[in-house]
Chain A
Amino acid sequence: MSDCLLSFKNVSKSYDGNYVLKNINLDIQAGEIHALIGENGAGKSTLMNILFGMSVIHNTGGFEGQVEMNGKPMNVKSPHEAIDYGIGMVHQEFMLIPGFTITENIKLNREITRNNFISAVLGERLKSLDYKLMNMDARKALDVLGMDIEEYTMVAGLPVGHMQFVEIAREIDKTGIKLLVFDEPTAVLAESEAANLLQAVRNLAASGIAIIFISHRLDEITSLADRVTILRDGELIVTKNVKDTNIVEIAELMVGRNVNITRDDAAQRTYSEEIVLDVKGLRVGMPGEWVKGVDFSVKKGEILGIGGLAGHGKLGIANGVLGIYPASGEIQFQGRPLPLNNTKQVLASGIAYLSEDRKGVGLWLDESIELNIAFTAMQIHGEFLSPLGLQDSKKIHENALKMIADLDIRCTSSLQTAGALSGGNQQKVCVGRALTQKPQLLFISEPTRGIDIGAKKLILDLLRQLSEEEGMTIVMTSSELAELRSICDKIIIVCEGQVAGILQPDAPDAEFGLMMSGANRKLEGGLAV
């Protein structure tokens, strides 16, 4: 192809022998808008890190294959060199200095200067800034984007939509920009702002700049992009012309996988109709995982799954119910209102919680396994204390031995520190602590994150066993759909802080994909799947 601007040739990347990108072949043409989609962990960020020569790539042994620009191999060792090649990136988090004006932000480190008498003596670095020329340049860039705000406005206090534009203006102001990468640019924007942005992207493409557009919003992609590439588990599944495909197909390709953890008994599990937990209008202020008004209810004995993409608020739900991050709304537990923002009372009322951040929140890493297991029950229910109020080491020890045997925790002794265990065994210690609390309802977030595949199955089996044998109600939050589908009775999909829908575990892949990307709300009527 003569107009092929950038091409990835057989690009692979591994971390410690674990391939996160396998044999990627991708061509980007000048002036095209190329959408790149995939679930979290599909390899999008790694691919972009390679393109920009981020140190995380080079510090871990580089990558295999080749990246070519205009047919010539590129050797980008740092983001700075990427700029020299004419590649720019619009970040999801704004990299702007709030106390500077728009012009100053756009021209940062590329200022236009003129001589003065001091610089004549002391050199380059003390030249005066030529604000007139800089403002003109900034104006030009802003005009390309159709933005009518004054270039001398301070960035602090601008609406997020405008900040995004300033960021883009900075990239296009760079001379010789050939390729711009947008990383989920509309994630933080309101609908009208997003529409403006998309129009600006179209204008840029029309001027000959190639665009790589990363987004989870499928409707945006279908209305904007020329071609779409779908990544899944580090592999390039397909590159298609957007004209030849549709939202449903893209969603299916994005999610579809060989479900390796299968649901062995398709037989319907039975559980009572009694509602244990009823959540109404829950809003949680968890940074990065905002929950913006969620309603759901959990029936006694059921395993409820909560899925969705990272950053859309699925993790915030459990953290909000438990009061770890500030929350508002109304929660009924076993018919009684549950106090919000009061972790102690929530735990005391019979709810246990296993955090998604096992090492940071879930464990006291430099303490013994046995104290970790007994800790919450001791603090909340006053168990494991002698009549004098001191720790009852014997009871703590006996309980720990029982949990170690029941859960098959592999350790040299119950006095080993929790930090010395492998991920799977650490998770079991957390489960052990939760069981010691004898809860009626268990919240568990990302139960298998960072755990090897064998241990994963053990943990999931354990959860199912708890549900079937002890009749425990479980709310499980996970980024891995396959995992949710393998043990949950129903799955709530969260998108942009709200419930996008509730699905049966055996619902088709496309439905999951559409809900996660928020596209289902925009499709009219039912799905023709």
Chain B
Amino acid sequence: MTETKKSFNLFSYINMGTIIIAGFLVLIVAMGTVFGKIPLSMMLNDCITRFGRNGVLVLAMLPAIQSGTGPNFGLPVGIMCGLLAECIAIENNFFGLGFLLVSVVLAIGIASIVGYGYGKLMNSVKGSEMTIATYVGFASVGLMNLVWVSTLFRSDKMAWFLGEGLRTTIQLDQVNANLILDNFLAFKLGAHITIPTGTLLVVFVLCYALYLFFRSKSGVAIAASGANPMFARAAGLHVDNNRIIASILTTVLAALGIIIYGQSFGYVQLYDAPMMMAFPTVAAILIGGATAQRAKVFHVILGAFIFNSMLATSLPVINRMVAGTDAAVLTDVIRQVVQNGIILYALMQVRGGNR
């Protein structure tokens, strides 16, 4: 009772699933270095790049989980907002930093409005948010396909060379936005490692901002509304409004996340590309130790790193170890099994564990 300092206990944040997957990751990396003769530094470089690329998308899960709507399986909804913002920016001939800033501002605007509606929807389907969100995500992809094929956009940079509508992939080097954040203050460590400083900075700044937000009055209110709606109500909080705020946050973060993803990847991917993006992202935060009801920024960082590292390393390792054309197929099969297995495992924990 006389204790005056908070003691940080790392182990209280890490659960069994995280340790198992982390062990699996170590095994893959070991196999890669020992049998595959892949330099460790090369694999590490891939891990860091992919962590930066996906970090903000994984962070988008945090407000949704904390507000009680569960992991945001409707991530494509937010992603569409970001893609739309990027297309508008290209259409209006923005380049480089200008393109990035305009996309970000537009994305925040569009995603706020869409997030509000998405939050309203989530409030009307309490109890089955995750299922509904998944299909809302799918539906939004279909809806936006109509926009992509329409004649709203006329810029040559995005159009098919023949016919109308937008291409499936738009190269960002056309607008000098390829790796714009990755290259900011980037530096080399040894022969194989390039640190994408700008992207990592953005990821960590946003993580810290969310950490602070969840220590503010509204952040705590959102977390309480998610953890125990009746408790929140008895404390005079408006649970539904808090869930809407969280939905706006998660949608905005998803929109920003895809912009960061796109510049790191080098392409804006339209049409069905975002369809399945929610699943690896959900898997990542759950692997980090979050449950469907409770997540921390720490889970985001750990999960984004472990999960993306695993995808980044398993592919070349298996490629080396299995000769022939089957390798690529096999790799993808294993990736699918692992990724969906993780989601399944994590969602099973949700139902049985807490109540």
Contact residue among B3, B236, B237 (Cβ-Cβ distance under 8 Å from A413):
B3
Please indicate which of the listed interface residues A347, A363, A389, A415 has the most CB atoms of chain B within 10 Å of its own CB: A389
Q: Please, how many angstroms separate the alpha-carbon atoms of A367 and B227 in the complex?
A: 9
Contact B224 A375 (CB under 8 A): yes
B203-216: contact bitstring with A at CB < 8 Å (1 yes, 0 no)? Answer: 00000000010011
Residue in A345, A346, A389 whose beta carbon sits within 8 Å of that of B217 in the complex: A389
Please measure, in the bound complex, the distance between the C-alpha atom of A454 and the C-alpha atom of B93, giving whole angstroms. Answer: 76
Q: A344-B237, A347-B236, A393-B6 are in contact. Are A379 and B231 (CB under 8 A)?
A: no
B1-38 CB mask vs A (1 if < 8 Å, else 0) is: 10110100000000000000000000000000000000
One of A362, A379, A382 near B236 (C-beta < 8 A): A379
CB distance from B294 to the nearest CB of A (A): 7
CA distance A376 to B236 in the complex (A): 8
Residues 366 to 410 of chain A near chain B (Cβ within 8 Å): 366-367, 371, 375-376, 378-380, 382, 385, 389-391, 393, 397, 401, 404-405
* B273 interfacial contact with A, CB 8 Å: no
Is B233 part of the contact surface with A, judged by Cβ < 8 Å?
Answer: yes
Q: Which residues of B are found within 8 Å of A1, using beta-carbon distances?
A: none
On chain A, the residues within 8 Å of B230 by CB distance are 324, 357, 360-361
For residues 215 through 249 of chain B, which have their beta carbon under 8 Å from a beta carbon of chain A? 215-217, 220-221, 224, 227-228, 230-231, 233-238
* A362 vs B208: C-alpha distance when bound (angstroms): 31
Taking a contact as CB atoms under 8 Å apart, the answer to whether A375 and B227 are in contact is no
**A327 close to chain B: CB less than 8 A:** no
- CB-defined interface of A417-436 with B at 8 Å, one 1/0 digit per residue? 00000000000000000000
Distance, CA A362 to CA B233, complexed state (A) = 10
Q: Across the interface, which residues of A come within 8 angstroms of B235, CB to CB?
A: 343, 347, 375-376, 379-380
**Complex formed: what's the CA distance from A382 to B212 in Å?**
17
Q: A366-B227, A367-B227 are in contact. Are A379 and B234 (CB under 8 A)?
A: no
Name the interface residues of A319-354: CB closer than 8 Å to any CB of B.
Answer: 322, 324, 343-348, 353
Q: Which residue of A lies closest to B228 (CB)?
A: A364
- Residues of A within 8 Å of B224, CB to CB, are 364, 367, 375
**B311-349 Cβ-contact flags toward A at 8 Å (1 or 0):** 000000000000000000000000000000000000000
Residues of chain B with a CB closer than 8 A to A391's CB: 215-217, 220
A-B Cβ contacts below 8 A, count: 81
Closest beta carbon of chain A to B127's beta carbon, Å: 17
Inter-subunit contact A401/B236 (CB<8 Å):
no
**B residues within 8 A CB of A375?**
220, 224, 235
Are A415 and B6 closer than 8 Å at their CB atoms?
yes
Determine the distance from Cα of A17 to Cα of B106 in the docked complex, in whole angstroms.
66
Q: From A397, which residue of chain B is reached at the shortest CB distance?
A: B4
> What is the 8 Å Cβ interface bit string for chain B, positions 294-319, against chain A (1 contact, 0 not)?
10000000000000000000000000
| Cβ B3 vs Cβ A414 within 8 A | yes
Of the four ranges (under 10, 10 to 19, 20 to 34, 35 or more), the interface on chain B belongs to 20 to 34
B220 touches A362 (CB 8 A): no
Interface check A11, CB cutoff 8 A = no
Would you call A200 an interface residue if the criterion is a C-beta within 8 Å of the partner chain's C-beta atoms? no
In this complex, the member of B6, B215, B227, B236 whose beta carbon has the largest number of chain A beta carbons within 10 angstroms is B236
How far does the alpha carbon of A364 sit from the alpha carbon of B66 in the complex, in Å? 13
Write out the residue numbers on chain B whose beta carbons fall within 8 Å of the beta carbon of A404: 1
CB distance from A382 to the nearest CB of B (A): 7
Q: Which of B216, B224, B228, B237 has the most chain A CB atoms closer than 10 A to its own CB?
A: B228
Judged by a CB distance under 8 angstroms, whether A355 is at the interface is: yes
Complex CA–CA separation, A346 to B237 (angstroms): 12
- How distant is A502 from chain B, measured CB to nearest CB, in Å? 27
Among A353, A391, A412, residue most surrounded by chain B Cβ atoms (within 10 Å) = A391
The answer to whether B233 and A324 touch across the interface, beta carbons within 8 angstroms, is yes
Residues on the B chain within 8 Å of A363, using CB: 228, 231
- Which residues 283-300 of A have a CB within 8 angstroms of B? none
Query: Which chain B positions have C-beta within 8 A of A376?
Result: 235-236
> Complex formed: what's the CA distance from A413 to B6 in Å?
10
- Chain A residues within 8 Å of B1, by CB: 401, 404-405, 411-414
Distance between Cα atoms of A361 and B212 in the complex (Å)? 27
- Note all chain A residues with C-beta closer than 8 A to B236: 343-348, 376, 379-380
Q: How far is the CB of A444 from chain B (nearest CB, A)?
A: 13
A467: min CB distance to chain B, Å: 22
A365 interfacial by beta-carbon distance below 8 Å:
yes
Closest CB of chain B to A359's CB: distance in Å? 9
What residues on A are CB-neighbors of B217 within 8 Å? Answer: 378-379, 382, 385, 389, 391
A413 CA / B2 CA spacing, docked (Å): 8
* B-facing residues in A435-490 (Cβ within 8 Å): none
CB B219 to nearest CB in A, in angstroms, measures 9
Q: Which residues of B contact A413 (CB under 8 A)?
A: 1, 3
- CB nearest neighbor in A for B1: A404
Q: Contact at B234–A355, with CB atoms within 8 Å?
A: yes
Question: Across the interface, which residues of B come within 8 angstroms of A361, CB to CB?
Answer: 228, 230-231, 233-234
Interface bits A106-121 vs B (CB < 8 Å: 1, else 0): 0000000000000000
Docked complex Cα distance between A351 and B172 (Å)? 59
Q: How far is the CA of A436 from the CA of B228 in the complex (A)?
A: 20
| Inter-subunit contact A390/B231 (CB<8 Å) | no
* Distance (whole angstroms) from the CB of B205 to the closest CB of chain A: 16
Question: Are B227's CB and A362's CB within 8 A?
Answer: no
Name the CB-closest residue of A to B294: A366
Determine the distance from Cα of A361 to Cα of B227 in the docked complex, in whole angstroms: 11
Q: How far is the CB of A301 from chain B (nearest CB, A)?
A: 25
How far is it, in angstroms, between the C-alpha of A278 and the C-alpha of B244 when the chains are bound?
A: 36
Find the B residue at minimum CB distance from A437.
Answer: B235
Do A371 and B231 have beta carbons less than 8 Å apart?
no
Q: Which of A322, A385, A401 contacts B234 (CB 8 A)?
A: A322
- Chain B's closest residue to A409 (CB) is B1
Name B224's closest neighbour in chain A (CB-CB): A364
Q: Which of B215, B220, B230 has the most CB of A within 10 A?
A: B220
Instruction: Given A366-B294, A391-B216, A391-B220, answer yes or no on A343-B233 (Cβ-Cβ < 8 Å).
Output: yes
**Partner pick for B212 among A357, A390, A401, CB 8 A cutoff:** A390
A365 to B234 CA separation, bound complex (whole angstroms): 14
CA distance A412 to B233 in the complex (A): 29
A385 to B215, CA, bound (A): 9
| Chain B residues with CB under 8 A of A322 | 234
**How many angstroms from the CA of A345 to the CA of B238 in the assembled complex?**
12
Residues of B within 8 A of A347 (CB): 235-236
Give min CB distance, A353 to chain B, whole Å.
6
How distant is the Cα of A380 from the Cα of B216 in the complex, in angstroms? 13
Question: Which residues of chain B have C-beta atoms less than 8 A from A389's C-beta?
Answer: 216-217
CA A378 to CA B217, docked complex, whole Å? 7
* Partner pick for A362 among B6, B216, B234, B294, CB 8 A cutoff: B234
Q: Quick one: given A364-B227, A371-B220, A390-B216, are A379 and B237 in contact (CB under 8 Å)?
A: yes
Q: Scan A257-284; emit 1 where CB is below 8 A from any B CB, else 0.
A: 0000000000000000000000000000
Q: Distance in Å from the Cβ of A447 to the closest Cβ of chain B? A: 15
Q: Write the B82-118 contact mask toward A (1 if CB under 8 angstroms, else 0).
A: 0000000000000000000000000000000000000
Besides A353-B234, A360-B228, A364-B224, 7 new A-B residue pairs in contact (Cβ under 8 A), listed by A number: A357-B230, A360-B231, A366-B294, A379-B221, A379-B236, A404-B1, A411-B1
A-B interface, 10 closest residue pairs, ranked by CB to CB distance from nearest: A344-B236, A343-B236, A361-B230, A376-B235, A347-B236, A391-B215, A413-B3, A390-B215, A361-B234, A389-B216
A-B contact pairs, 6 of them (CB 8 A): A322-B234, A343-B234, A344-B237, A361-B228, A375-B224, A376-B235
